[in-house]
């Protein structure tokens, strides 16, 4: 089916005066629009001269926004003009259509804008599903490429600047992230967490009044050099973190100051379980020897002036392991008490000791008292406490040779 070109000229290319519609066909759910440039010539992109002599022409296929639920494809005839300027290095150049599509693009500019908004809102797979329903037919990688090609927004220098570090690769590579303390968005990312890049950024971005930074000394030095008049403060997270570490260090240092329990404070022998470990007895065994040697090695390296991170790299241990040994004043403090945790069904242990029948154990009253549980919870809890029973004997069937005798 063909349509009038003048009608489609005003309908499809409304506001674009540089195109003429030659023909429009509709078949198999696709509207094909054949168009060409209206201008007699074009300006050379190098020398700027206007030339009209045509060298040749070729055809571009552009996808446009759907119209009435139908796909729209623009077949655009592009002319190549000859530049006759003697001092121009370019001999030929293509006819530009800046308001319709970018050079080498397969989508029109307005379709690209729609895909960018869909990609920003829904990202890859979800955006591709929505684009299919809207008639665009764009894949997830197409949407992601549109988003990645967007330029970074131009942000003004924030009045309240947040400075903190983050791990690109934990324990090895760290960078610095700068955020706006009022709008709560990322302003910039610095490659390292040293004082130099932060001071250089503050020097090139004047206007920061308050710097909410982490506790690192490099950030304090960078803020002092780059913005000496700015007020340096700590945020709530780092205040709580500093308080927690100070309390932990103080408790570990004064552990020996705690009063030892006297004989009057200890429970009677009848109330004490024989399985309870003695608090005053040092751990023994190969595990205790390993912990004692590791504790001595870590503190020896600390006395030599090595940092905790350097000790972790030298010994090949995890940083948390080195921190645990370094925080412990005695090697006995590195042991963790591994006692069984109380169960939610402990208050009903008398049910089994008093000989309650099996059907009463799973009754609603028993289940409600053991919040939150299911009717199967008491049964599963009672299985380990039940006496082991003999496994059922397998029935031995006669073999074929025995039956044939």
Give Cα separations from 385 to 349, 351, 353, 390 (angstroms). Answer: 10, 12, 10, 15
Please say whether the beta carbons of 3 and 24 come within 8 A. yes
Distance CA 337, CA 290 (A): 17
pLDDT of residue 268: 54
- Please work out, in degrees rounded to the nearest 5, the angle formed at the alpha carbon of residue 115 by the alpha carbons of 114 and 117: 65
pLDDT of residue 276: 47
Residue-wise pLDDT tens digits, 265-313: 555 544 444 444 444 566 777 888 888 889 889 998 998 888 999 999 8
Distance CA 126, CA 140 (A): 8
Residue with tokens 């005798």: 405
pLDDT of residue 311: 92
Please say whether the beta carbons of 69 and 110 come within 8 A. no
pLDDT of residue 17: 64
| Positive or negative: CA dihedral 318, 323, 326, 327 | negative
Q: What is residue 224's DSSP assignment?
A: H
Residue-wise pLDDT tens digits, 229-252: 889 888 888 888 888 888 888 888
Distance CA 230, CA 160 (A): 9
Under-70 pLDDT residues of the chain: 1-17, 260-282, 336-405
């Amino acid at each position: 089916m063909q349509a009038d070109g003048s009608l489609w000229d005003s309908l499809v290319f409304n506001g674009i005066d540089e195109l003429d519609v030659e023909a429009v066909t509709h078949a198999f759910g696709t509207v094909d629009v054949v168009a060409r440039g209206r201008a007699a010539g074009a300006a050379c992109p190098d020398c700027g001269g206007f030339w009209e002599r045509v060298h040749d022409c070729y055809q571009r296929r552009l996808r446009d926004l759907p119209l009435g639920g139908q796909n729209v494809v623009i077949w655009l005839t592009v002319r190549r003009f000859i530049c006759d300027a003697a001092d121009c290095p370019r001999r030929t150049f293509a006819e530009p259509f800046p308001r319709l599509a970018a050079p080498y693009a397969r989508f029109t500019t307005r379709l690209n804008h729609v895909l960018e908004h869909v990609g920003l809102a829904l990202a890859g797979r979800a955006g591709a599903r929505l684009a299919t329903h809207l008639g665009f037919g764009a894949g997830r990688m197409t949407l992601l490429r549109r988003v990645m090609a967007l330029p970074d927004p131009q942000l003004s220098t924030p009045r309240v600047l947040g400075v903190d570090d983050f791990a690109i690769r934990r324990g090895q590579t760290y960078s610095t992230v700068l955020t706006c303390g009022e709008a709560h968005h990322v302003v910039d990312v610095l490659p390292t967490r040293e004082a130099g890049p932060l001071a250089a950024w503050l020097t090139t971005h004047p206007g920061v009044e308050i710097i909410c930074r982490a506790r690192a000394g490099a950030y304090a030095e960078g803020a002092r050099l780059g913005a000496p008049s700015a007020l340096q403060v700590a945020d709530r997270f780092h205040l709580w973190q500093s308080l927690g570490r100070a309390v932990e260090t103080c408790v570990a240092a004064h552990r020996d100051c705690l009063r030892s329990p006297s004989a009057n404070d200890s429970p009677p022998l009848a109330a004490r379980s024989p399985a309870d470990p003695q608090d005053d007895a040092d751990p023994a065994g190969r595990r205790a020897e390993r912990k004692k040697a590791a504790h001595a090695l870590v503190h020896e390296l600390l006395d030599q002036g090595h940092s905790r991170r350097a000790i972790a790299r030298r010994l090949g241990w995890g940083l948390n392991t080195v921190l645990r040994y370094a925080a412990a004043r005695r090697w006995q403090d590195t042991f963790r008490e591994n006692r069984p945790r109380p169960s939610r069904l402990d208050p009903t242990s008398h049910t089994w000791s008093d000989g309650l029948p099996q059907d009463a154990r799973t009754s609603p009253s028993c289940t409600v008292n053991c919040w939150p549980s299911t009717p199967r919870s008491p049964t599963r809890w009672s299985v380990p406490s039940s006496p082991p029973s003999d496994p059922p004997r397998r029935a031995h069937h006669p073999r074929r040779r025995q039956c044939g005798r």
